Structures are given as structure tokens and as C-alpha cells.
Amino acid sequence: MKADDGAEQRHDAEGISSVPATQVGRVHAVIRQVVAMAPGFLRGDIDADQMANTMVHAARSYVEQEQATGSDGAPHDAEAEALQGALTELMACGSGYLANRCDAACVARTMSEMVREFGSGQSRSA
């Protein structure tokens, strides 16, 4: 997996937009996409509507990528299973906000936790 992760990081650094080859790579890519926007949201540069829409879009994008590979989205290994909770939280929090079931402070708490857990190259499995 390390070789795969390195290749994905090179693609990210080069600005090449591609779907990672592994399920874990796809999960990390989606989480990175959301976490990259989080600081702007937490500073107030991005509103909660945009952040929530990004969260939902990212989670849906992952599902679409999984379906494109012929997968039902079920975790393929322990690392993917550990990351599944983050995807679930992105969808639940983002869609909950958009449905007026929670407020911007709730989105901020979720994104603060995501940044703590996954920001600066960190991950649950690291």
C-alpha cells in the first residue's frame, strides 16, 4: 500500500485529478478533499451551506467511484473499515445540516475533528 499511497501523493502534487486505484486510496482522497476546505470554513471564509454541500458531494462521489469499480462500497479490509466511519460522518453531518436537523456549529465540530484526525497527512491508520 505504501507504493500506492506514494503514487497517489505524486498525482496530487502534480495536480493530476484521477481516481485512486484502491478503495483505501479513494476514501483518503475524498477525506482530503473535504479537509482541504475545512480551514476556510472554520475561519469563516466559506459558509456552512457550502461546507455541508461539499461533505455530501464528497461522500456521494466515493459511492459513485465504488460503483464504477463494481464494488458495493463494503470495506475490503480493516483499514477501509476504519475509515468508513469518517465517510458516514461526512454524509450524516452534511445532509443533516442541509435538512435543518443541525446547525453550523455542529458542522464546525465535525470539521474540526476531521482536521484533527486527517489534516496534515494524518489518518486513523497512521
What's the structural domain count of the chain? 1
Does any domain span residue 56? yes
CA 126/CA 120 separation, integer angstroms:
12
Q: Is residue 1 part of a domain?
A: no
In a domain, residue 79? The reply is: yes
Q: In which domain, by residue range, is 106 found? A: 23-121
The whole-number pLDDT of residue 17 equals 52
Domain contains 15: no
Share the mean pLDDT of the chain: 84
Q: Which of 97, 96, 87 has the alpha carbon at shortest distance from 118?
A: 87
Determine contact, residues 1/22, Cβ cutoff 8 Å.
yes
Tell me: the pLDDT tens digits for 9-35?
433 443 335 678 899 999 999 999 999
